[in-house]
Chains A and B, each alone.
Chain A
Amino acid sequence: MNTKKEFQHPLIIRITHWLNFIALGIMVASGLRIYNASPVFYFKIPSELTLGGWLAGARQWHFFAMWLFLLNGVIYVIYNVSTRHGRHTTLFHHSDVHGIVPMIKYYLRLQKEHPPQKKYNALQKLAYTTVPLLAIGAILSGIAIYWPVQFSFVTRLFGNYDTARVWHFIFMASLVLFFLGHLLMVAIAGWDNFLSIITGWKKSSNTTEPHV
């Protein structure tokens, strides 16, 4: 194994990654508290998983963290677009389509050989490209229910006020699902990979080793 260090994540990516983790954590925990005040579905979220103590406190957290989430996301997008960072390694390209099935087979242990890949495999690229779109969906559906009068055209995009609330929940749940999958992959990939999102560097340059 090659022990040469390899640079993985630029500083801005590392900072926005962790700010996003904090912002989304606050958004989800306080949002679930807001959800509990009048559940859209037939269940409530255990209070222990929520943030804010009561509805007013949850709203204060939610409408603080939304700015952090939004500004952080804008910086992330501007950085990626202007530097073309991740354009070939992370952004899903139509040529990645044929790589999806072999990766699923590999993950399901139906195929022993890890399909050849560069920094990320086809499924990872798909996930890392979908997640920003989910975030945009969460923000738009959030605007739809925060300002159903001032931005009524955004609310109409999601049907009406009530269906926009459901969409907001779906985007949140999808982001949480991604997060859980991401955690699992990070755990599988190991410590060296985890350190790379903190220090920027990874020991191995062997690209067939899992990188998350």
Chain B
Amino acid sequence: MKKRSIIAVSDSSEGGFSLRRRKLLKLSPLLFLAGCDISPSGGTESFLKTFQAFNDWVQGKVFDPTKLAPEYSDTDLTPEDGFRVNGYDTDTPDIDLAHWTLTVEGMVTKPGQYTLQQIMSLPKRVMNTRHCCVEGWSMIPQWGGTPLRDFLHLVGADVNAKYVAVECGDEYYTSFDMPSILHPQTMLCYEAYQKPLALEHGAPMRIVMPTKLGYKSAKWVNKLVVANDKPGGYWEDQGYDWFAGI
């Protein structure tokens, strides 16, 4: 299993994914009362996956594109030394910051490669929002960057497309529904605490999306694809919920 360093998920005591799957077998005796098939390849897992798709659908319905995540005052910020990197198996990729570009593909009128300077010349937003990890911990960093919808406008993206997928310098990948992408607080983030993003936090540019769980705020983003076919995600393909709204 490839090591992951995105702020996201760990059950680090559990070891690899195949081991986790086997551990699914160790289910509570309660399930026998429910009369469930507990084999990981059996009906229970596919039922839960189907149900997860239903919950994703509910999340999409509940999501209000105009509802802003609470923004906090500077005194509420998590101190900079508490700006957390998911602390296990950290595997920061080598990024050539001087020659970095963001590749844009798919349903856009101006596909190609965009430099950080082009992105930084767009309107800037600074916000103190809570970053909620799927594990349960959270922090309030100060983010700075460009609202993603402004960038989509720049590249002539078809905002009637259903999805946007991103790929990252560490081979992480994830994807989003268009309404969440167009949310005013969804940003291409290049600053934290008014300083250029540190390498371990995704330099030179990451997604920040306070309306979704942390594993959607992908670091080291280098490619963006606008599409109508639903893409997956690194954690989502393993069983985490795709919409991940909060």
Known: A29-B30, A37-B136. A56 touches B238 (CB 8 A): yes
Q: Which of B127-135, B146-154, B191-199 contacts A (4 or more CB under 8 A)?
A: B127-135
Say whether chain B's binding surface is mostly helix, strand, loop, or mixed.
loop
Cβ contact within 8 Å between B49 and A60: yes
Cβ contact within 8 Å between A150 and B245: yes
Chain B residues touching A, range: 35 or more
Q: Which of A25, A56, A60, A165 contacts B9 (CB 8 A)?
A: A56
Q: Does A97 contact B (CB under 8 A)?
A: no
Known: A37-B136, A150-B63, A150-B64. A64 touches B246 (CB 8 A): no
B63: chain A residues within 8 A (beta carbon): 150
> In the complex, which residue of chain A has the Cβ closest to the Cβ of B64?
A150
Taking CB atoms and an 8 Å cut-off, the chain A residues in 48-79 that contact chain B are 48-57, 59-61, 63-64
| Complexed CA–CA distance, A49 and B28 (Å) | 7
Cβ contact within 8 Å between A165 and B136: yes
Say whether chain A's binding surface is mostly helix, strand, loop, or mixed.
helix
| Complexed CA–CA distance, A52 and B23 (Å) | 8
B132: chain A residues within 8 A (beta carbon): 148, 161
Chain B positions within 8 Å of A, measured between CB atoms, are: 9-11, 14, 20-28, 30-31, 33-34, 48-49, 51-52, 55, 62-64, 67, 69-70, 130, 132-138, 210-211, 235, 238-241, 245-246
Can you list 23 residue pairs at the A/B interface with Cβ under 8 Å?
A22-B33, A26-B30, A29-B30, A37-B10, A37-B136, A38-B136, A47-B23, A47-B26, A49-B28, A52-B24, A53-B24, A54-B24, A56-B240, A59-B134, A60-B51, A149-B69, A149-B70, A149-B211, A149-B245, A152-B70, A161-B130, A161-B138, A165-B136
Chain A positions within 8 Å of B, measured between CB atoms, are: 21-22, 25-26, 29, 34-38, 40, 47-57, 59-61, 63-64, 146-150, 152, 161-162, 165
